A and B are shown apart, each in its own frame.
Chain A
Amino acid sequence: MSTVATNPEPSRFERIWNSNMAYSFRRNPVAVVSLAIFLAIAIMSLLAPVIAPFDPYDPAQIDIMNSEYPPVWVDGSEPEFILGTDDQGRDLWSTILYGTRLSLLIGLCAVGLQAFLGISIGLIAGYIGGRLDSLLMRLADIQLSFSTLMVAIIFLAVTQAMFGSETFNQYAVFFLIAVIGVAEWPQYARTVRATVLAEKKKEYVDSARVLGFGPLRIMVRHILPNSLSPIFVISTVQVANAIISEASLSFLGLGMPPSQPSLGSLISSGFDYIFSGSWWITAIPGVVLVVLVLVINLLGDWMRDVLNPKLYKG
């Protein structure tokens, strides 16, 4: 009572600023730096068409004669190409900017799709329960045990074989988003379902039912808002995973084509030249990829520590 009565009504901003989350964020330099780096990468890649000195998608700007120039701090470089050029003579800096944009786009969209599918299925399975629940969760178990990457590889391999690489390359972005989005729904569904089951047992849900509210209202207005912390935590991890998945698939040649490279396909094309000493084609996009994924994971870790949700295990 005394805690409630003494201080005056705080404003919305004060509430947020003084909240546990904001407080721990301010106190955690790793989280602050990670967010800063993430925002920097995101903004730069978003502004790629403005920042990049070359357009890697424009064949007119690419000269094969410029291939494999090292970065400027290495002997034999061309000052025009800050980070050097790749095997096709594209400016690495520009290509990385565009590639990061693609990787981020695919990662975020795929996670959006996962979240949509997983949250809907998880809510329904958890709230309705019974046979539908056990069927859906059994499916989720099976799909998870096959691992995303396996499902994605097989799906993309078959698609590529069916449509031929021409058509496949044209729509690769959509295929990647779809397959990473669909293959990972169990992660969300199981987490959401576990939270829903835990929340459903709480008496505020019973109270809502006794007041006569319909299932949709209870799910969306009451249960979902209380299931958000695990969703937030899992979302950051999922974005990181999706970016890695995309990179891995592209590395295997089942993702973005070399003509429209994401970070993964850039690394892949550079791998062939690593023995001849052109390490930068692989190394620089590799570092960008790792840093990007790392800062997202660090943010996810921080969020997990703060929100401390009971995540679904196993």
Chain B
Amino acid sequence: MSLLSVRDLTVKFAMRDQTVTALDQISFDLGKGERLGIVGESGAGKSITGFALMNLLSRPGFIDSGSINFEGREIAGLSDKEMRPIRGNRMAMIFQDPMVTLNPVLTIGQQMVETLQAHRKLSKADAEQISIMKLREVYIPSPEDRLGQYPHELSGGMRQRIVIAMALLLEPELIIADEPTTALDVTIQADIMELLLELCTSNMVGLILITHDLGVVSQMTERTLVMYAGRIIEAGKTREIINDPQHPYTQGLINALPQQTLPGQRLKQIPGNMPGLTAIPDGCPFAPRCQYAIDNCRRTRPETVSYANVEVACHEVNRLHNTVLEDQSA
């Protein structure tokens, strides 16, 4: 049985005079200890997915319909009070910017101890012992001294390690990491990612990694969801998606990377922009930017189909694939 099973999850935002759909019937599963990447550009709905899973959408966003089954329990409709034993305990979250994630006026120790005490009956001394242990696991030097320090006394990379240690405090089944390294430098990012990968594998913790960086997804995850305009347009094994993307958007995204083109040559760009949430076209949301789009793409919304080992939401995937094969044979 899977750890997490999301079915037709729809999130809406109540705007000034209309309600816009930010997540449109997304469905996916996550097995125990599995690492899943969610990629997409800003506004694609990937962060909203993360917060919806935690039931932490801030107003005006709300879960409109659909189900989230976590450890065999339906959690989509739970109240804040009912969610509290799950948050931070069974399901932990790592935020994007470690500089603003930790409370500036509380020490690292206070923030770690309160997390433990929120879910377990523990004395302060015991909680501190566990905290020190976890800090050691994330390779923080002299963890005993860190407990008394305030966040501003530590560097960004160090803070993100602490946030990871906090996520692991209660040995959760699932960690949702929302762009955990975007705010960090490349060399630090590589360290943090390696650490996260190591901890998830050794503790059999499920990971949902939300990122815009295909390189990170490629190195970190087993399966990937590609999101566009609030929908999942492609899903499957990471390797398959990176090596042989089926959806024209995923293809475009990978081809647009500078390393896919010879230096100095024109990059293969996708024309136009992703539509805003208020102006998602009928039919396939990618149709206006898609070079393969035909009338049907603009009229009807594509269903998800299995094709070449991935799930893809595209009318034309069959024909496209044939064209590519023809090109290659020709």
Contacts and interface: CB of A to CB of B under 8 A. Distances in A.
A and B touch in the complex (CB under 8 A): yes
Interface string B81-119: 000000000000000000000000000000000000000
Tell me the dominant secondary structure on chain A's binding face.
helix
Contacts of B273: 1
Contacts of B279: 2-3, 6
A84 B227 CA distance: 74
B276 interface: yes
Contacts, number: 13
Interface in B262-311: 272-273, 275-276, 278-279, 281, 288
Q: How large is the interface on B (under 10, 10 to 19, 20 to 34, 35 or more residues)?
A: under 10
A1 B281 CA distance: 12
B16 A2 contact: no
B325 to A, nearest CB: 33
A23 B16 contact: yes
Contacts of A3: 276, 278-279
Contacts of B278: 3
Interface in A1-32: 1-3, 6, 23
B16 A1 contact: no
Contacts of B272: 1
A178 B63 CA distance: 57
Contacts of A2: 275-276, 279, 281, 288
Nearest to A20: B16
Contacts of A1: 272-273, 275
B128 to A, nearest CB: 35
B272 to A, nearest CB: 6
Nearest to B278: A3
A308 to B, nearest CB: 15
A2 B275 CA distance: 7
Interface string B223-243: 000000000000000000000
Nearest to B16: A23
A3 B272 CA distance: 12
B330 to A, nearest CB: 35
13 contacts: A1-B272, A1-B273, A1-B275, A2-B275, A2-B276, A2-B279, A2-B281, A2-B288, A3-B276, A3-B278, A3-B279, A6-B279, A23-B16
Given A1-B272, A2-B275, A2-B276, 9 more contacts: A1-B273, A1-B275, A2-B279, A2-B281, A2-B288, A3-B276, A3-B278, A3-B279, A6-B279
10 A-B pairs closest in CB distance: A2-B279, A1-B273, A3-B279, A2-B275, A1-B272, A3-B276, A3-B278, A23-B16, A2-B276, A2-B288
